[in-house]
Amino acid sequence: MKNESDRSRPSGSITVKHNNVAEMPTETIPSGTPDRCVPGQVIHDALISMRDGIKLAADIYLPDEVGPFPVILTRIPYGKKEPYCDMPLVGEFWTKKGYAFVVQDVRGKWGSEGVFEPNNKRNEIADGYDTLEWVTQQPWSNHRTGMWGESYYGFTTYAGAVSQHPNLICIAPGDISLNRYQCTFRNGALQLNTLGMWSIYMMAREYQDIENIDPWHLPLAEMGEAGGIPSSYFDQVIANPVPGPFWEERSLLEGYESIRIPVLHWSGWYDSYLGPMIRDWSEIGKHNMETGHNHLFIGPWDHEGTADEIHRVGGLEVGGDTAKHRWDTCQAFFDHYLMGLTDGSGRIPKVHIFVMGENVWRDEQAWPLARTRFTEFYLHSNGKANALNGDGILNKSIPGEEQADTYVYDPENPVDDTLYFDCYSIAGEMGDRSGIEERRDVLVYSTDKFDSDMEITGPLKAKLFAASSAVDTDFTVTLVDVSENEYANLIQDGIIRASYRGSDLKPSPITPGKVYEYTVDLWATSYVVKKGHRLRVEVSSSCFNRYDRNTNTGEPFGKASKTIPAKQTIFHSKAYPSHIILPLIPK
């Protein structure tokens, strides 16, 4: 989440006394004085003692006026001074708005002592509380603190709320979830390009170089070691492909009931954790209904916010104000709850979304929208829906007796459109899907051209009736907008591992040749398919390396050293009516 300001700050030196839940020693800190807060100060590398004596380093940015101030705290593993995250610019933004900003390297990263243990909730909750306690006692603090952050520092923001520090007033976590398992595995498939690689390059005080990591390597469990970068956390991820004690110790699910302060959950339609974050908003809302301060904010961006710079997602223009609007919305949230100001209406919308295609921001009172008409669009063909030149059709008619479609999924030749870029930047990197749709192992089903605009806003699911020659395999479903010039633009996609068809808790193999019903969660969107465009559904069995390849062998996760092809059959008949369910919004 970037902003455009850039200004240097003066420096000096001070001594600050810690007053925390544990006994804290007096520390010497560069830049400033505790008894007179110099306007415009930046206090670098303040060492804040935790209850176990470990010291965590923080930078403090003060406004160009006399305090005390409300404080916004961010706890980050990516380096509080590193250009990658632009924390000095973030500090510049918040201080201009009248807030003190504190950014801290988490335990074991960059300037902080200790050992980094990814998603260790005990550390992040305790360290968050102790840091909030220290911040509250500083002369530049008015004892009202909010927390902000995205990705991992969204996780530490949630952890701060779970700590229930009395001076934490509100939080704005983005692009993350309390449930780390659902961030890492999607319906049984490992998010290899993002969380798989992250679990390797994060296992150092700064970063590990993953240039030599080969995502094709089998067994998958040895990928890091084979690239010369062993990672204990990657090993643990591979060893824990189902929910259990390992993930419970690294998730903040207790926050569903314990978080009672105002929350602004923000994400993007193309973010890697969109679905889990929407579930977090819903779950916290169930237990926090009496407050009415649980807000959902979704824009047209991916994890890295690439739409901010290129003003498009794939081939769809989205305008140039996305970054400004994100910052303005976060500021309005903190102004309302932390400063006690209002935006004129005296409220923050419950749901605030960007409608792609119309390129407008819209406030809503519910998710899904109360006026949603969930509509089934069914797959049809004469058994030859393979590739663009096939006979696949998508419409609202229930199938009759139709011949099933077949294709061969070969793990040695997966659909690899995401192999060549960082999937955290998918909205900016994805291109025309027409090339993918030329593959024989991709089934293509298209509507006729629409004679009016059609808005799709809400959760997306597909129901596939499918059989495989393998004992385990994957199925993918992709929803596509096809423009008048035949550009195929990704709306949303999903994946399911056949052995996880029933529950994450009890994966089980399938019987070769047997027809199963698979529910594929495509998460959500808000997208207007324009007049003259067509809607398209692609069905296949891979999206590499966004997700790991299913080897089709049925061997334990991460252990397979060989692959076998699988013949896949997709049924669309009266008995097996494969379809996608679209949340249509009437005009």
Q: Which residues are 43's β-sheet partners? A: 60
Contacts of 380 (CB under 8 A, 6+ apart): 392, 393, 394, 395, 397, 399, 402, 445, 572
Omega before 68 within 30 of 0, i.e. cis: yes
Closest to 544 (Cα-Cα) out of 193, 205, 64, 250: 193
Among residues 303, 336, 352, 533, the one annotated as catalytic is: 303
Q: Tokens standing for 282?
A: 């819903």
Which DSSP string do the residues of 156-185 spell out, in sequence order?
A: HHHHHHHTT-TTEEEEEEES--S-HHHHHE
How many other CB atoms sit within 10 Å of the CB of residue 479? 24
Catalytic residue among 31, 49, 141, 151: 151
Count of Cβ atoms closer than 10 Å to residue 576 Cβ: 20
Pair 146, 71: CB distance under 8 Å: yes
SS (H, E, C) 182-216: HHHEECCEECHHHHHHHHHHCCCCCCCCCCCCCCC
Fill in the DSSP letter of residue 452: S
Cβ–Cβ under 8 Å, residues 190 and 241: yes
CA distances, 19 to each of 23, 30, 134, 136, 437 (Å):
7, 18, 6, 9, 62
Q: Are 197 and 250 a contacting pair, CB within 8 Å? A: no
One-letter amino acid for residue 551 of the chain: T
Residue of 127, 130, 271, 417 marked active site: 271
Q: What is the spatial distance between Cα 501 and Cα 516, in angstroms, rounded to a whole number?
A: 9
Is cis: bond before 368, omega within 30 of 0? yes
Residue 12, SS3?
coil
Apex CA 524: angle with CA 366 and CA 431, to 5°?
145
Is 151 labeled as catalytic in the residue annotation? yes
Size (the chain), residues? 587
- Nearest CA among 482, 387, 518, 402 for reference residue 441: 387
Give me the active site residues, please: 151, 271, 303
